[in-house]
Amino acid sequence: MKKEIIIAGFGGQGVLSMGKILAYSGLMEDKEVTWMPAYGPEQRGGTANVTVIISEEKISSPILNAYDVVIALNQQSLDKFECKVKPGGILIYDNYGIHHAPTRTDINVYNVAAMDASLEMQNSKSYNMIILGALLKVCPVVTLESVLLGLKKSLPERHHHLIPMNEQAILKGMELIK
Amino acid sequence: MEKEIRLMKGNEALAMAAIRYGADAYFGYPITPQSEVLETLMAEQPWETTGMVVLQAESEVSSINMVYGAAAAGKVVLTSSSSPGISLMCEGLSYIAASELPALVINVMRGGPGLGTIQPSQADYFQATKGGGHGDYHFIVLAPSSVQEMCDFVGLGWDLAFKYRTPAMILADGVVGQMMEKVVLPPQRPRHTDEEVRQRCPWAAMGRTPDRGRNVVTSLELDSAKMEVNNERFQATYRQIEANEVRFETYGTEDCDYLIVAFGSIARISQKAVELARKEGIKIGIIRPITLWPFPHDEVKRLASKSKGVLVVELNAGQMIEDVRLAVNGTVKVEHYGRLGGIVPTPDEILDAFKEKIYQK
């Protein structure tokens, strides 16, 4: 099974680090992974995106024109990437700050109120982990155990006390998917 | 020993590989998209563990001349930069080649010409394979397409550089530099002791010993007759490298009707285009030159001769295509698809270009 995912949003929303955690989790399951960020001027202009591919087999292109899963966390990203979900694929977005909701009917669309949830948890930094939880619920590309193991491996020890908070946020994100 | 698997950016893998393969020194100056090489080395502080020197020079000109000096002493040395910085190093590269010294130079290419852009490019193919600096010289050019190859080619580059006493270059692009993939790091290779350097580099200028004359490292020879002999020796080495060190990889060439030639990250994007094409029943194969110099002329010629057409895909306006056309020598149609200035094509754009330029229904 190969999953081709793009995560796009504002810089600072944790788009790149969420992709990194996903890639680490794939590594924990001994899968092939590729993490390809947009590193150019668009990153400096406010929007950021990262392509993450997790596969049982060797991965060819790190650059794609269609995705199994698109996670779009602002209006520009939604406008740009809604059309790039493969038919039958998944689109995850957060309605917060969105003026034009997605319109496609040939894909599975999930509105995840992660911003509201992170405010409720009084921790805006949990935002990307809530989204990750939602992803794991609708598309279990890696297990929760692998994510936690990946966090442990990738974070320096002085940040390990934050892992339970991240786990909570992931579980919250899973709950948000009805 | 358990394999050490890490998730890393290509640039970080270059830095880790340099330490692991027993580098004596890195000299460099930061430039996007390869600044993580110097950053990672500074964070790893190898001077505390292996004794490797890591120095940010005041410019690329200084960096390459520090490399020249260290190489002359038989040291395992490297520098890295991106396109405009490599242009500054070309004089030094010519001197290092003419002095028959081993060194590793990494170019993580960005869009040019001039200061250009920080986005990926392959527009330094001519510079890397045809010279860059002045005079009749070549160096070995390795083109990685994965983070693992970024790591492996550091060791391979030095092995070849020392074997033939010539500089080697890793010619990567911003995609391979910036993406993260799984990488198996090599075990720590110890740095060579002075005694080992004297053994393996009897030419090294590291202090005269009573049993031999003075070692002089220079590219200058005012006597033309002697300079011609020097040049003939360089050329003989190049012929040996051409005979022994050609490397390439193929995909789907067993049953293909058409051929794509591409290197570095673009070979992988092209591979996806080939996967898409095969779903439509169009059989394309890919040859990915790993050594850009020496170029795999014979294999390109062999595969092209059984194809109905060849598409060369590059992030430039048409550079490697000249070597492909020389190899094919007019027997098959060879067309080019390139994106410029830092734009990277998607797999379906490559497939569309193939259909427009090569495919006959």
- Please report the ipTM that was assigned to this predicted complex: 0.91
Residue B6's pLDDT is: 92
CA–CA gap between residue A17 and residue A25 (Å, rounded): 12
CA–CA gap between residue A153 and residue A165 (Å, rounded): 16
Task: With CA atoms as reference, report the closest residue to A6 among A46, A45, A37, A30.
Answer: A37
Residues B177 and B257 in one domain: no
Task: Determine, for residues A27 and B182 on separate chains, whether the beta-carbon distance falls below 8 Å.
Answer: yes
Residue A44's pLDDT is: 60
Provide the number of CB pairs (under 8 Å) joining chain A to chain B. 71
- Cβ neighbours for B11, distance < 8 A, ≥ 6 positions apart: B33, B34, B35, B36, B37, B40, B108, B150, B177, B178
Q: Which residues pair with B105 in a beta bridge?
A: B79, B169
Q: Average of pLDDT values for A156-161? A: 91
**Does residue B148 belong to any structural domain of this protein?**
yes
Residue B40's pLDDT is: 98
Residues B122 and B255 in one domain: no
Taking CB atoms and an 8 Å cutoff, what residues of chain B touch A24?
Answer: 7
Residue A42's pLDDT is: 61
Residue A154's pLDDT is: 79
Domain coverage including residue B261: 249-357
Residue B209's pLDDT is: 87
Q: What's the whole-number average pLDDT of chain A?
A: 92
Domain coverage including residue A102: 2-176
* Mutation site for B-interface testing, chosen from A27, A49, A63 by largest number of B Cβ within 10 Å: A63
Task: Determine, for residues A65 and B349 on separate chains, whether the beta-carbon distance falls below 8 Å.
Answer: yes
CA neighbours closer than 13 Å in the CB half-sphere of residue B38: 18
Residues B30 and B176 in one domain: yes
Band of the pLDDT at A164, cuts 50, 70, 90? very high
Could you tell me the CATH number of the domain that includes residue B283? Answer: 3.40.50.920
Tell me: pLDDT of A86 over 80: yes
Q: How many residues does chain A have?
A: 178
Residues B67 and B183 in one domain: yes
Query: Which range scores top for mean pLDDT: A114-118, A146-150, B11-15?
Result: B11-15
Band of the pLDDT at A156, cuts 50, 70, 90? confident
Tell me: pLDDT of A49 over 80: yes
% of residues, chain A, pLDDT over 90: 81
Structural domain tally of chain B?
Answer: 2
Domain's final residue, options B154, B173, B194 = B194
Q: What is the mean pLDDT of each run of 10 residues along chain B (361 residues)?
A: 84 98 98 96 98 97 98 98 98 98 98 93 97 94 98 98 98 95 96 96 92 93 97 98 98 96 98 96 98 98 97 98 97 97 94 95 69
DSSP string, A13-74: SSHHHHHHHHHHHHHHTT-EEEEEE--SHHHHTTEEEEEEEEESS----SS-S-EEEEEE-S
CA–CA gap between residue B300 and residue B321 (Å, rounded): 11
Structural domain tally of chain A?
Answer: 1
**Does residue B338 belong to any structural domain of this protein?**
yes
- Bridge pairing between strands B180-185 and B4-9: antiparallel
Residues B145 and B271 in one domain: no
DSSP A84: G
Task: Determine, for residues B180 and A39 on separate chains, whether the beta-carbon distance falls below 8 Å.
Answer: no
Tokens of B39: 């950053």
Tokens of A77: 């990203």
For the stretch B37-85, pLDDT in tens is 999 999 999 999 999 999 999 999 999 999 999 999 999 999 999 999 9
Q: How many residues does chain B have?
A: 361
Residue A178's pLDDT is: 78
**Does residue B211 belong to any structural domain of this protein?**
no
Question: Sign of the C-alpha dihedral, residues A37, A40, A44, A45?
Answer: negative
| Closest approach of B284 to chain A, Cα-based (Å) | 15
